[in-house]
Structure 1
Amino acid sequence: MMSFRGKLYRDDAVVLRLQKLGESDRIVTLFTRRHGRIRAVAKGVRRTTSKFGGRLEPFGHVDVQLLEGRTLDVISQVEGVDLFGRRFLDDYPRYTVASAIAETAERLTPVEQEPSLRLYLLTLGAMRALALGDHASSLVLDAYLLRSMSVAGWAPALRECAVCGTAGPHRGFSVPAGGAVCPDCRPPGAGHPAPATIDLMVALADGDWATADASEAVFRREASGLVAAHLQWHLERALRSLPLVDRDDRGRPTPAARDLHGERGADRHHGKDNAS
């Protein structure tokens, strides 16, 4: 029988998810710059003697070397570029937002090893924004969801009617119709969001943080509902993490955050649960 010898390759990546494998290994879901989404085995990473286990933390930006395998590639080397998750593991609102971003990135890359540079850069930028904490985590999430839907071709119409294309602003909004709708095209059941809510969504989609940061809480909540509804309309199944997002950016840390996304709580410290 011929032996399989895979080749080595290297890439930048964002760590999306961790899963236990056997006694000491993990399957790591990575979103890479040049190779898209990859599921790879990190051997021995759960042992306390692991040389790079602490670098494979959720939401982190890493430089990773992999060896091609028959079914799953194998991680052979990892260098931490910026381990964003360490900065908000105990911050429940930011942690839940990061979980929703990671799940969205995974869901929007259904084919493994298919590059999506725009989505990768959006995901990396969103994790960096959460780590810096310059903007409310709920705004970072909604900006990411709007822009990632644009990459996927699902962006809601905000400046014109989703049905006829008539320039807005329009007061109606219908998720099944594709976004803002004019009076002539407004279907039954369409909502009537406040004009400031639509303005906020436009600002988030455009990266206008001055407008977004100055928005009021009531419009943020309404915009979040519309963005989430629009995203989940297009997905085959709902995001598991989205209902768990704490949009109160003043929330206190809570242990519940550690149970949200696989083994992330177990990865907090090198010595606990032999996780790193």
Structure 2
Amino acid sequence: MSLYRDEGVVLRTQKLGEADRIITILTRRTGKVRGVAKGVRRTKSRFGARLEPFSHVDLQLHTGRSLDVVTQVETLHPYGEAIVGDYPRYTAGSAMLETADRLTVGEKEPALRQFLLLVGGLRTLAEGEHEARLVLDAFFLRSLAVAGYAPALSECARCGAEAVRAFAIVAGGVVCGACRPPGAAVPAAETVALMIALLRGDWPAADASESRHRTECSGLVAAYLQWHLEHGIRSLRHVERAWSEPLAAAPEWPGASEKSHNPHTTRA
């Protein structure tokens, strides 16, 4: 077996046998890795507590046939300590981990931009300077951009016109009156401005937004993300409870089952 070292964020864990765990980690250089951490469920484990979700760690692994084996772990940033004690931040963080896991489909395929985005998102969430849902929506939008599916927000996703009137998930973002498909949402101009601020990292503008626009933004972003993933994000159910505001589900618009090619959709 070959030995390698990398740093990563623990995305999820699952039990294996009586004392082991399978750890899924998004790493800086290797991409998504699934490894076995042997004996970590025993009370005398050397590094069991270091391999919990949200942890940013430096680790050493042996390459195995199906699963690698974790042999050493050092904590770089224990983001979980600040996140798990606050329910809104915990639910937002869980949704971030699940999204990063879903967007990095292949194992051991380098995903540096997604890794850096996740580390930055968890750090911002742990610091608590911005509302958790703003951090989550910013992460969603930027993750979509990294994957090549950032929504068009400044001009019509279909024809490029600047006079936009609605937001259509199946079209790839904002659309003008002529291109607006049936069932498209009509968000407030302030909501679209908030989405632009979150995508660009303009935190002063995002922090100054009103609650009703944040709620509308969260619904649109969650629906847009889940439509592109083709499956729901399970963690969002808990996010809804934490914020006491139901997030919009992806609507069943005509053609929603077939993703149309859209040359005007912003791509990373």
> TM-score, normalising length from structure 2?
0.89
SS class of match (2:33)? strand
Residue in structure 2 matched with residue 22 of structure 1 by the alignment: 17
Q: CA deviation at 1:246?
A: 4.5
User: Is 1:218 matched up with 2:225?
Assistant: no
CA–CA distance in structure 2, aligned partners of residues 229 and 89 of structure 1:
25
Aligned match of 1:110 in 90, 105, 110? 105
CA–CA distance in structure 2, aligned partners of residues 119 and 79 of structure 1:
22
Residue type of the partner of 2:169? Answer: V
Q: CA deviation at 1:239?
A: 1.2
CA–CA distance in structure 2, aligned partners of residues 246 and 224 of structure 1:
10
Aligned match of 1:190 in 184, 195, 199? 184
Q: How does 1:225-244 map to 2 (within 5 A)?
A: 225-244=219-238
User: Is 1:201 matched up with 2:205?
Assistant: no
Q: How does 1:54-203 map to 2 (within 5 A)?
A: 54-168=49-163, 170-203=164-197
CA–CA distance in structure 2, aligned partners of residues 248 and 164 of structure 1:
39
Contact kept? 1:137, 1:247, Cα under 8 Å: no
SS class of match (2:88)? helix
Aligned length: 244
Identical positions, percent:
60
Uncovered stretches (5+) of structure 2, i.e. residues with no partner = 245-268
Contact kept? 1:101, 1:123, Cα under 8 Å: yes
Residue type of the partner of 2:129? Answer: D
Q: CA deviation at 1:249?
A: 6.5
Question: Which is further off, 88-97 or 61-70?
Answer: 88-97
Contact kept? 2:91, 2:242, Cα under 8 Å: no
SS class of match (1:171)? strand
> TM-score, normalising length from structure 1?
0.86
SS class of match (2:171)? coil
Residue type of the partner of 1:239? Answer: I
Q: CA deviation at 1:248?
A: 5.2
Q: Deviations over 1:6-40 (max 9, x none)?
A: 11100010010010000000000000000111110
Residue in structure 1 matched with residue 7 of structure 2 by the alignment: 12
User: Is 1:50 matched up with 2:45?
Assistant: yes
CA–CA distance in structure 2, aligned partners of residues 72 and 249 of structure 1:
38
Bigger relative contact order, structure 1 or 2 (CA pairs below 8 A, ≥6 apart): 1
Q: Deviations over 1:235-267 (max 9, x none)?
A: 1211111122147569xxxxxxxxxxxxxxxxx
Instruction: Sort the Cα spacing of 1:104 and 1:217 in 2 relative to 1 into closer, same or farther, 3 A.
Output: same
CA–CA distance in structure 2, aligned partners of residues 42 and 178 of structure 1:
41
